[in-house]
């Protein structure tokens, strides 16, 4: 539920005729996907700001500001105040952009992790223990990495054994 208490859940529409959804695994209930919409003003603002600020128009606008600032240096005799204006402006913009970028990256990383979790869950041969490994400690992740490096080394050794030089 959002901070202001107004959260709405909408049931995802059923698949079109002719399209089938994969059957749930044996012993597991079917999961219905729900889309959550809320009145979280910061999430909406961050998404809109990220979309606009990542556009070519925002870059063009920023480049124009720099050109105008640079050209105005002649009028202001390249004074310390003239330099302070651009330094202060860019510092403030950078400070605010850090939060917008972090919000966008957090949302994207969460969505990707959920998609990967669904893929792991959907594959019969995949190990469900890999779901939510982003919550493991660094030591546990290091152990997993060592295990998968050993699997890769064994695979390379098998491949090398199959390739025999032609006599």
Predicted confidence at residue 124, as pLDDT, reads 81
The rounded percent of the chain whose pLDDT value lies above 90 is 36
**In this model, does residue 7 exceed pLDDT 50?**
no
Q: pLDDT confidence of 12, banded at 50, 70, 90?
A: very low
**In this model, does residue 23 exceed pLDDT 60?**
no
Nearest CA to 31 out of 118, 135, 103 is that of: 118
Q: Please state which of the ranges 2-16, 38-52, 132-146, 152-166 shows the lowest mean pLDDT.
A: 2-16
Q: Rounded to two decimals, what is the model's pTM? A: 0.57
**In this model, does residue 38 exceed pLDDT 80?**
no
**In this model, does residue 100 exceed pLDDT 50?**
yes
Average pLDDT over residues 74-90: 94
Strands (E), the chain: 7-11, 34-38
Number of H helices and number of E strands within the chain?
4, 2
Predicted confidence at residue 27, as pLDDT, reads 53
């Amino acid at each position: 539920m959002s901070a202001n208490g107004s959260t709405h859940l909408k049931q995802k529409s059923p698949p079109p005729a002719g399209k089938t959804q994969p059957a749930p695994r044996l012993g597991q209930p079917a999961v219905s996907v729900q889309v959550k919409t809320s009145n979280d003003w910061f999430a909406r603002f961050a998404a809109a700001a990220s979309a606009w600020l990542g556009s070519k128009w925002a870059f063009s606008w920023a480049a124009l500001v720099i050109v105008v600032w640079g050209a105005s240096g002649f009028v202001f005799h390249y004074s310390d105040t003239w330099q302070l204006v651009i330094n202060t402006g860019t510092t403030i913009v950078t400070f605010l952009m850090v939060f917008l970028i972090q919000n966008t990256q957090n949302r994207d990383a969460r969505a990707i992790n959920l998609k990967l979790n669904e893929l792991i869950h959907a594959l019969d041969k995949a190990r469900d223990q890999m779901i939510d490994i982003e919550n493991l400690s660094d030591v546990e992740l290091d152990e997993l990495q060592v295990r998968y490096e050993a699997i890769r080394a064994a695979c390379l050794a098998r491949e090398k054994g199959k390739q025999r030089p032609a006599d």
